[in-house]
Chains A and B, each alone.
Chain A
């Protein structure tokens, strides 16, 4: 049988980058094809070409053996191609039915919306593919997992036959991800064809029928879950052998460095986003905060580092109250912060690498004399760190905006870790990085812990939290639901807690809803 979709020789050149280099791809009906590759490998470019957002420089697209040209998303929709975008294309203030029918509205009397008719169609699809949603809910009021179902219904509503999922699990709990995989399998069984884009090895092995690996814009291999394992896939992705396991000795932690008591944080609408959180971090331990994105981690980190006002409670660092201290004061007391969004909060992108490396210390000797910056010293300092931390940059004067994501993150790591610190606040330190950079940054974090630094790690990647942490605090809807020893829990148990459930066995709750595992 002929493939339902075929790409032949797709090539796309951006200034300075060959994003897609003669890529061939064939998708069969009812199949789940995984497209595996690191960030920047060219997966998204390829899918954007297929969805009509980019035009290829070379190459052809065939659907059912018929050559088609896709100039816009409308063409793609007409050709039966639908895409679940990594960042949902939903309008928060619209209802589910408005979001789904937008662009293909049910109307009556000319141009008046017929929401009832559209709701009926949506409920039919919802029934057929087991995707429960309530058409009249506002999208901003429903959880992320349901929002994704809305996205999927949006495609089915448009009779899409080919469904593209772009990194669909980034915002889901492990349980929600499993549920998504069930949905994907059932869609495939009902004859839909699926392209699944990801860089997560576990997911590929679990759900795909066939795996295509892309590196540097070209297809480097094709395999099946039966033939491959995590290590072989990682090697194909990166182009060399990588260690997927973080090596770390057990250590007895020292004194309490950071103590958080009853911390309360609200957002600008007075919603409670951090709900009476209490947590200690000791010298020489990594405490990981596990939780699905958007459960208050960002706000917790901002409150600890002085970037956001807290509404109540107390944070102390080495016994000193820093609850209402300024970020600079907190930094000077010996804390370091690797922020969640490196480009927004971690770097001044147009500034040279050397200046970014002294952002916390530029005003002090020896980098400043009075009001005058000492460029010679700043440059020497930069050269030393560039060497020590293996930052790949043409020169110390290159703007950081020209560096790759991994090297930008290394600039931040170098700046923060090269200072004498007692506390490291690392928020999603490996977000969007390639396997090689992740390996490096993990090593550095563990090294800092071994030197006796207290490390608080926040990450939505459960694997990362499990491997790096000594203790794990699970955050759900602004609360710390449980604090557990990472050696004594399974990934499944933590994953379950991320959904707000506390496994009965072995746990007991005190009145603060802080659960310590007792064995």
Chain B
């Protein structure tokens, strides 16, 4: 139906629907209440919270610790969302509504950390640094999704490609005792799986979700089999060399940011390089224009002489390369060995980050960092010995993902032909 989309009318109601206005106002007040009842009341006066601002094991870019009085800080953190909530109920923030909800959530998170660490110290910089590292596979997964879906092919096989990539990366890295060759192996395995996905979904026009699911199941089974049969029995096959930290001269000395972004491993640098490359390639080059046209309106592209099938193959194969790279991160950039199911749904969270980021590389990276941060808080508080059961903490990032997906994102600007196989007339 073309007629429905061709509405000439462009008048918008900027007003947020009244129920949503009310609901978000109440949510913000509840946040204030949680901080008040949960944290402020349980805090002894005159306690201090110490934030360590240099991650452990880092010598360059040191920064003095940050010490704050716990109670006053928490009280301020109660007042901010309370005011926001009241204003939201009375007047409303219009277009800034979502931002204000985000600010309130930030108060909640910061309040929680401050309260947990009252009378002791928490390594904030370490948390940020691990957030960046945890964001790497999510962001790369999101990039992988952007490449494929911008050309109109849904790729939910990213999880499987990552898992296979991490296993192959470990195996080949161990055999050759060279992390770089291991990484090439990881990338090739992602490429191979994406070729299968491309053939099934582009050539044979199998439902793309089913094709992706099949690859995920295959990868889970295959990696488990090889792991149990060979990697567990012969540890020499499962001990690849790790990529070490490479400080960037000069930049690494910046306090806080230096250790986070400029004194870290090659995967973080590659993620930033890919961010720029993909952003420029998609939106400023002929290749990108054609790729996006195929994802939006393949028939129009076809009538202008663009090879839809070939373009989609290119996109899906590139998507596989990036997913394989993301897989390599787990074994070669983080853990140093392969464990069964070690990607733990990061590929799917990457897809969520892609949607959250509106199918744009920059947005995808922002979303990836948010999810990575959620992950980092979870594991940090686990170490602090929080009163909250560790299982609940481990659930938090996924819970956040669900809330974010359900509450804040509609359909977004998904490519119009996303998921539709192209058939010539």
Taking Cβ atoms with an 8 Å cutoff, the residues of A that contact B are 48, 51, 53-54, 72-74, 77, 83, 85, 87-94, 98, 102-105, 107, 111-113, 140-141, 143-144, 154, 171, 266-273, 293-296, 298, 340-341, 344, 477-478
Judging by beta carbons under 8 Å apart, are B13 and A93 in contact?
no
Give the chain B neighbours of A53 by CB distance below 8 A.
303, 424-425
Q: List residues of chain A with CB within 8 A of the CB of B2.
A: 87-88, 171
Min CB–CB distance A365 → chain B (angstroms) = 36
Task: Determine whether the beta carbon of B8 is less than 8 Å from that of A477.
Answer: yes
Is the CB of B344 closer than 8 A to any CB of chain A? no
Chain A CB within 8 A of B289 CB: yes
Report the stretch among B76-84, B293-301, B383-391 that lies at the interface.
B293-301
Residues of B within 8 A of A (CB): 1-13, 15, 17, 284-287, 289-290, 292-293, 296-297, 299-306, 410, 413, 416, 424-425
Chain B residue numbers with a CB within 8 Å of A111 are 285-287
Q: How far is the CA of A111 from the CA of B277 in the complex (A)?
A: 13
Bound complex: CA of A178 vs CA of B410, how far in Å?
41
Q: Shortest distance in angstroms between B310's beta carbon and chain A's nearest beta carbon?
A: 13
Report Cα–Cα, A372/B286, bound state, in Å. Answer: 61
If A92-B5, A478-B9 touch, whether A113 touches B305 (CB-CB below 8 Å) is: no
Cβ of B7 and Cβ of A267 under 8 Å apart? yes
Q: Which residues of B contact A477 (CB under 8 A)?
A: 8-9
Pairwise interchain contact A102-B7, C-beta atoms closer than 8 A: no
- List B contacts of A154 (CB < 8 A): 304
Contact present for B3 and A298 (CB under 8 Å): yes
Nearest CB of chain B from residue A124's CB, rounded to whole Å: 20
Q: Which residues of B contact A144 (CB under 8 A)?
A: 6, 8
Cβ contact of B302, chosen from A73, A92, A140, cutoff 8 A: A73
Residue of A nearest to B281 (CB): A111
Write out the residue numbers on chain A whose beta carbons fall within 8 Å of the beta carbon of B301: 102-103
The smallest beta-carbon distance between A109 and chain B, in angstroms, is: 10
Contact in complex: B300, A113 (CB < 8 Å): no
The answer to whether A272 and B290 have CB atoms under 8 Å apart is no
In the A-B complex, the 4 residue pairs with the closest CB atoms = A103-B304, A74-B305, A89-B300, A294-B6
Contact A269 B4 (CB under 8 A): no
C-alpha gap A51/B3 in the complex (Å): 25
A407 to chain B, nearest CB (A): 22
Q: Specify which of A98, A296, A340 is in contact with B7 (CB 8 Å cutoff).
A: A296
Q: Is the CB of A92 within 8 A of B416?
A: yes
The reply to whether A89 and B425 form a contact with Cβ atoms under 8 Å apart is no
Given known A113-B284, A113-B286, A341-B1, contact A103–B8 (CB-CB < 8 A) = no
- Alpha-carbon gap, A293 to B9, bound state (A): 12
CB distance B300 to A294 under 8 Å?
Answer: no
Choose among A85, A92, A112, A267 the residue that contacts B303 (Cβ–Cβ < 8 A).
A85
A275 to B323, CA, bound (A): 48
8 A-B pairs (CB sep. < 8 Å) = A51-B303, A93-B413, A94-B292, A94-B293, A103-B305, A112-B285, A266-B13, A271-B7
Complex contact B3–A294 (CB within 8 A): yes
Roughly how many angstroms separate A478 CA and B5 CA in the complex, as a whole number?
A: 14
Q: Are B284 and A296 in contact (CB under 8 A)?
A: no
CB neighbours of B287 from chain A (8 A): 111
CA distance A269 to B3 in the complex (A): 16
Whether the Cβ atoms of A102 and B306 lie closer than 8 Å is yes
Task: Kindly list chain B residues whose C-beta atoms are within 8 Å of the C-beta of A141.
Answer: 10
**Whole-angstrom distance between the Cβ of B243 and the nearest chain A Cβ:** 31
* Known contacts A89-B297, A298-B3, A341-B1; A113 and B306 CB within 8 A of each other: no
- Expressed in whole angstroms, the Cα–Cα distance for A42 and B4 within the complex equals 28
Residue of A nearest to B17 (CB): A270
In Å, the complex CA distance between A298 and B3 comes to 8
Residues from chain B with a CB closer than 8 A to the CB of A105 are 286, 289
- A272 with B6: in contact, given A72-B305, A73-B303 (CB under 8 Å)? no
For the complex, give the distance between the alpha carbons of A269 and B9 in Å.
12
List 4 extra interface pairs beyond A72-B305, A73-B305, A90-B297, CB under 8 A.
Answer: A92-B416, A171-B2, A271-B13, A340-B3
Complex Cα gap A98–B303 (Å): 15
Q: How far is the CA of A53 from the CA of B425 in the complex (A)?
A: 7
C-alpha spacing A360/B302, complex, angstroms = 42
CB pair B9 A83 closer than 8 Å? no
Q: Is the CB of B285 within 8 A of A113?
A: yes
Residues of A with C-beta under 8 A to B12: 269-271
Q: How far is the CA of A113 from the CA of B17 in the complex (A)?
A: 41
A77 to B305, Cβ gap below 8 A?
yes
Interchain CA distance A202-B303 in the complex, whole Å: 30
A contact residues around B416 at 8 Å (CB): 91-93
**What's the nearest-Cβ distance from chain A to residue B40, in Å?**
39
In the bound complex, how far is the Cα of B290 from the Cα of A105, in angstroms?
10
Once bound together, how far apart are the Cα atoms of A270 and B18, in whole Å?
13
Partner of B296, one of A48, A88, A91, A104: A91
Determine the chain B residues whose CB is within 8 A of the CB of A98 once the complex forms. 289
Closest to B302 in A: A73
CB atoms of B4 and A298 under 8 A apart: yes
Contact B305–A91 (Cβ < 8 Å): no
Specify the chain A residue showing the minimal Cβ separation from B288: A113
**CA gap between A154 and B410 in the complex, in Å:** 34
- A98 vs B290: C-alpha distance in the bound complex, in angstroms? 10
Q: A111-B286, A141-B10 are in contact. Are A91 and B300 (CB under 8 A)?
A: yes
| A110 nearest in chain B by CB position | B285
Whole-angstrom distance between the alpha carbons of A141 and B305 in the complex?
26
Q: Which residues of A contact B413 (CB under 8 A)?
A: 93
Q: Is the CB of B297 within 8 A of A91?
A: yes
- Bound-state Cα–Cα, A273 to B300, Å: 27
CA distance A88 to B253 in the complex (A): 56
Contact A271–B11 (Cβ < 8 Å)? yes
Contact B4 A90 (CB under 8 A): no
Q: Chain A residue with minimal CB distance to B305?
A: A74
